[in-house]
A and B are shown apart, each in its own frame.
Chain A
Amino acid sequence: MTDNPASKRIQDEIDTNDVVLFMKGNPVFPQCGFSAAVVQVLSEIGTKFKGIDVLEDPGLRDGIKVFSNWPTIPQLYVKGEFVGGCDIVREMYETGELQQLITEKGVATQSA
């Protein structure tokens, strides 16, 4: 997509990091309740992830919405695949599907 200048950066991030969370704020200081909820889920699963703060870059904030065809932030990617936003991540965590997906994709976790 040549009309989306952020798409190359997004593609690079999801290609080089197993678990990427596009969020508002950073994992230590989330700036939004929905982003904080996903950080909490990932912490409970014990998977390492890269948090990318879209508030630092307006082009990325809009670009990720176009890239994923998803209107809201946060957005979670695992091994380059879009998993979903806050509602889907929480629902998948509650049913155990998220843990399963992460394990199946061969991403290391440290269960507490």
Chain B
Amino acid sequence: MAMSATEIEAMIKEAIPDAEVQISDLRGDGDHYAALVRAAAFKGISRVKQHQMVYDALQGRMGNELHALALQTAVPEDA
């Protein structure tokens, strides 16, 4: 079962409220996405922890319903 981009974005924003999320459906099949998540909450923490925060937001769907989500995280420049 695939997930919609809207659903992914909503779950990330629920867990990380200040996140700015950009999602692209890489193949148009609802199964291979790339996401850029920018949030002040990432400031000062390692990339691994930033990605773990996003995976936690997805509550176990990553690696299951959500087959492929290429993830990039960043801190806003003004944060």
Contact = CB atoms under 8 A, between A and B. Distances in A.
A45 B55 CA distance: 28
Interface residues of A, number: 15
B24 interface: no
Contact of B70 (A70, A87, A92): A87
Interface in B22-57: 47-48, 51-52, 55
A44 interface: no
Interface in B52-78: 52, 55, 60, 62-64, 68, 70-72
A69 B52 contact: yes
A65 B63 contact: yes
A72 B70 contact: no
Interface string A48-78: 0000000000000000010001111000000
Contact of B51 (A65, A88, A92): A88
B52 A72 contact: no
Given A83-B48, A84-B51, A91 B72 contact: yes
B33 to A, nearest CB: 12
Nearest to A71: B63
5 contacts: A65-B63, A71-B60, A82-B48, A84-B48, A87-B71
Given A72-B62, A87-B71, A88-B51, 9 more contacts: A70-B48, A71-B63, A71-B64, A84-B47, A84-B51, A87-B72, A88-B47, A88-B48, A91-B47
